[in-house]
Structure 1
């Protein structure tokens, strides 16, 4: 099945990532461009905000967001900018945060990765309401795609360089167990990047180098594919008033001048209508003072 896509913002992001639907707008980042972007589809409004460092994800918190920066977690408010919250790892690891998600209990899940994409120094973390950051998995070079099933019982996480999406059992206390292979991507020249789970429990995974995304059943069977006119697709996100628009961030990073000439919309934000809605975007629950 091939579904038509529309480039809704030719933003030419170096490394577009982390789209979330929040308060009737699509928010996303350009990690290497150090930008936060906001797209309002109702009015076509496009806004951008500069970050003091590589900014890798946003997660709603109160009137603003928690933002992942290379230096650690920050609070971000469009009118106030960035305020440091906490560091995550020693600077000498040369790691940065990467992808993130918020579960229905308000827990923030995020990964770190080696900024040079060489060392398996990345890890998966969980931030809980008391402000505790707990390492949940480790020894990964590029962490990606944390997402949770609609019943809150299955957690997914991707090791991009190993081309593997892992599944775990997730209990009510936020503990992971029974790690197992969910999908091994066998597409030549393509690696699994960010993922999101729809309301039926199917996993949509973006393909870096794969010109699109694949929908997997809860059993790991590929059942649909979306093709985009951009080689490096980084993450999907459900948005719109009915959560039936699938947005995709993409990247120009690593593409030659010849490839960019052939695919000029690379780095753009794309929208695709789908029949099955996504899950709502949850907000982080944090009991720490502002």
Structure 2
């Protein structure tokens, strides 16, 4: 795709996932991993060879985040597991929010220090029962700390390139929040970073200049915001439900985009037959290399 015009999306994997989400670029494999949450599937796509591999998970997987040992931390409905693509197996079940059986894990990211941030949500998308958590791996295993609450559908989260700002969406509120990350990992100075007036903010990531890239559920575009919250021209997509982007390729200037078919009626699906597929386009500013979850760090 190096010779294609900037910001011109094309379908690179006609998958038609029910709820495609959570793309992460693994540079060592030159491959993109992502999930279909509702179908409990994990996908790996290698653009250079167009090789596509799929694994079935024991339950819905909301996110996959790479771990330093070559496995992935998988966000499942009731907690965290380790997924090993070399065997296809899942292990190390850690329960999260056992007291909230109607919640599930939703989205996550890894910060520059190798720590994981993730959110939970009401599975029925009605009650503000979701929270934001941070994970550090130490000698005792996963150390999970609670940092914020009151989210109906938490999304993102994303970290600024400097590692000092956390962005989190509450999707039904059409709002992206920002927090300062303190030296001890706690959050401070909560503020509204941006509000969407078209569609709902879904997954978010930052590029190397600190621009926030936001998938828009029901918005048919990738929204972009400068670090000060100023909205940049969006990038139109050929499908309605745009869930999240990831920067990849050798120069981190290829933007991969996951999408979804969930909630689209028959008339819309007829107009958008590739809804739920994987798209990509080129951009002029590189992303940030994908961080890995550090063990005993």
TM-score, normalised with respect to structure 2:
0.93
Q: Whole-Å Cα distance in 2 between the matches of residues 32 and 91 of structure 1?
A: 23
- Given the alignment, which residue of 226, 237, 262 partners 2:271? 262
Query: In 2, are the aligned partners of 1:2 and 1:226 still within 8 Å (CA)?
Result: no
Q: Whole-Å Cα distance in 1 between the matches of residues 220 and 88 of structure 2?
A: 37
Q: How far did residue 238 of structure 1 move?
A: 0.5
Query: In 2, are the aligned partners of 1:157 and 1:166 still within 8 Å (CA)?
Result: yes
| Residues 35-93 of structure 1 deviation map (CA, whole Å, 9 limit, x = unaligned) | 00000011111110000101110011111101011131000012141113300012653
Q: Write out aligned runs for 1:177-196 (5 A).
A: 177-187=188-198, 190-196=199-205
Q: Secondary structure at the match of 1:210?
A: coil
Q: How far did residue 2 of structure 1 move?
A: 8.1
Query: Is 1:243 matched with 2:249?
Result: no
Q: Secondary structure at the match of 2:42?
A: strand
| Pair 1:170–1:6, CA change in 2 (3 A) | same
Question: Can you give the 5+ residue segments of structure 1 that lack an aligned partner in the other structure?
Answer: none
Q: How many residues align?
A: 286
The equivalent of 1:170 in structure 2 is: 181
Q: How far did residue 174 of structure 1 move?
A: 1.6
Query: In 2, are the aligned partners of 1:2 and 1:227 still within 8 Å (CA)?
Result: no
Runs of 4+ in 1 over 2 A off after TM superposition: none
The equivalent of 1:31 in structure 2 is: 37
Q: Whole-Å Cα distance in 2 between the matches of residues 80 and 211 of structure 1?
A: 33
| Residues 102-124 of structure 1 deviation map (CA, whole Å, 9 limit, x = unaligned) | 00101100001111111111111
Question: Can you give the 5+ residue segments of structure 2 that lack an aligned partner in the other structure?
Answer: none
Q: Whole-Å Cα distance in 2 between the matches of residues 44 and 203 of structure 1?
A: 28
Query: Is 1:203 matched with 2:203?
Result: no
Q: Write out aligned runs for 1:131-150 (5 A).
A: 131-150=142-161
The equivalent of 2:12 in structure 1 is: 8
CA RMSD of aligned residues (A): 1.4
- Given the alignment, which residue of 118, 121, 124 partners 1:113? 121
- Given the alignment, which residue of 72, 78, 89 partners 1:81? 89
Q: Secondary structure at the match of 1:261?
A: helix
Query: In 1, are the aligned partners of 2:6 and 2:284 still within 8 Å (CA)?
Result: no
Bigger shift: 226-235 or 92-101? 92-101
Query: Is 1:50 matched with 2:56?
Result: yes
| Residues 150-199 of structure 1 deviation map (CA, whole Å, 9 limit, x = unaligned) | 11111111111111100111123222100000001122xx1011100000
| Pair 1:2–1:209, CA change in 2 (3 A) | farther
| Pair 1:157–1:92, CA change in 2 (3 A) | closer
Q: Whole-Å Cα distance in 1 between the matches of residues 277 and 254 of structure 2?
A: 16
